[in-house]
Amino acid sequence: MAGWQEALERQARTRAKAGLTRILRPRPAGDTVVDLAGNDYLGLAVHPGVIAASVRALQEYGLGATGSRLVRGSTRAHEALETELAGWLGAEQALVYSSGYLANLGAVRALAGPQTLLVSDRYNHASLIDGCKSSGAEVVVAPHADPAALAAILDAHPGRPAVFVTESVFSVDGDLAPLAELHAVTSSRDALLLVDDAHAVGVLGTEGAGGVAAAGLAGKPDVIVTATLSKSLGGAGGVVAGPAALIRHLVDTGRTFIYDTAPPPAVVAGVHAALRLARAADDRRAVLAARGALTARRLGAAGFEVSRPAAGVLSVPAPGPEAAVTWAADCADRDIAVGCFRPPSTPDGSSRLRLTLNAGVAAADFARALDVIVECAP
């Protein structure tokens, strides 16, 4: 075996001893597992209207976009989705990417010049962290969801262009950032606020317009919004929404946009249909909120320390990575899918079960899932 392969094998053994081996588990079509692990919060991924829109676009455009957005990949479907996304999120313009990860990398890099100070919340998603690291700018990691700490950091770097990067609903624990207070800090110091709204879009705010809208910040010229199209909208892709000048800059210079094949028109059309359904889905949002409260009560009564559900994400601490894996596997054996989060996915080095709620799951199945989670606990 070549030396580089031996090095990889040693690293794999080290991860295995620490309980950090990851395994791909392909699921069959039409499986009957109760899904509390995926991100389809509103249950729209299987909505007949969404599927029909996707099928129509598949028949009209074919399987893929056949090129990057600037070559051949942009279609009327992409343009229509971007127009409605901008209106929904209250932004001047929006730009669609093939993934939320690439949208975050593109947005962070676009806002970071040689003198820029990037301030990143300690619990940010990996895509935001990677965007900061790859930007070439100075990065300061801020205490989690702490406006006072942010103010102190910005005040220690007077006169520098600065961007504070945060999620709205955090992807592991599901807590909500104090966006209005954070914006008060950034706006008073001429800094920008970049918010990854991935886990709030579709769930929070009027018509599900997200955490930024719920905080009264939609359309602010110093607020940039990113989101995935793969969670409440049940599809795939990402979006950056903000002032027209930023979108123009991304189209002209953004490497994660220019050099990437466009999202397939069939996916884009399905997401657009899901967006229209999501705007009118107050009933599903009510179900989601009720289930979040029920989950916190049920697991809390069973003695678990459960994160407070701000949207559709909750986490339950596990004794360690191996215990988390066993807990999730035991739930899966009883046809309940839950998320298993271990380092480095967890920001503080601890392990958790992550529960992502789904309004499309039948009430009886949801109640049974909570019972199974309690019964399978280590």
Residue 250 in 3-state DSSP?
helix
Q: Is the pLDDT of residue 97 over 70?
A: yes
Q: Is the pLDDT of residue 19 over 90?
A: no
Q: Is the pLDDT of residue 347 over 80?
A: no
Low-confidence winner among 1-10, 60-69, 367-376 (lowest mean pLDDT): 1-10
Q: What is the pTM of this model?
A: 0.94
pLDDT of residue 1: 66
Residue 344: pLDDT band by 50, 70, 90 thresholds?
A: confident
Helix (H) or strand (E) holding 247: helix 244-253
pLDDT of residue 190: 97
Q: Please give the mean pLDDT across all residues of the chain.
A: 95
pLDDT of residue 182: 98
Q: Is the pLDDT of residue 185 over 80?
A: yes
Pairing of the two strands 93-97 and 238-242: antiparallel
User: Which residues on adjacent β-strands are paired with residue 163?
Assistant: 118, 192
**Residues 42/360, Cβ–Cβ less than 8 Å:** yes
Q: What is the pLDDT of residues 42-95, one digit of tens each?
A: 999 999 999 999 999 999 999 999 999 999 999 999 999 999 999 999 999 999
Q: What is the DSSP letter of 169?
A: B
pLDDT of residue 364: 96
Q: What is the pLDDT of residues 225-266, one digit of tens each?
A: 999 999 999 999 999 999 999 999 999 999 999 999 999 999
Helix (H) or strand (E) holding 9: helix 3-17
d(CA 223, CA 217) in angstroms, rounded, equals 7
pLDDT of residue 308: 81
Residue 18: pLDDT band by 50, 70, 90 thresholds?
A: confident
d(CA 60, CA 151) in angstroms, rounded, equals 52
For the segment 96-119, the average pLDDT, to the nearest whole number, is 97
Low-confidence winner among 10-14, 168-172, 341-345 (lowest mean pLDDT): 341-345
Low-confidence winner among 3-17, 73-87, 121-135 (lowest mean pLDDT): 3-17
Cα radius of gyration rounded to whole Å, the chain: 21
pLDDT of residue 149: 98
pLDDT of residue 367: 96
What are the helix (H) ranges across 18-125?
48-61, 76-89, 100-111
Please name each of the domains of the chain with its CATH number. Answer: 31-46+282-375 (3.90.1150.10), 49-279 (3.40.640.10)
pLDDT of residue 3: 87
pLDDT of residue 297: 94
What type of residue sits at position 277? L
Q: What is the pLDDT of residues 270-296, one digit of tens each?
A: 999 999 999 999 999 999 999 999 999
Q: What is the pLDDT of residues 291-341, one digit of tens each?
A: 999 999 999 999 998 888 899 999 999 988 889 999 999 999 999 999 998
**Residues 142/185, Cβ–Cβ less than 8 Å:** no
Tokens of 325: 């894996």
Strands (E), the chain: 34-36, 93-97, 117-121, 138-142, 162-167, 192-196, 223-228, 238-242, 313-318, 336-341, 351-356
User: Which residues on adjacent β-strands are paired with residue 140?
Assistant: 119
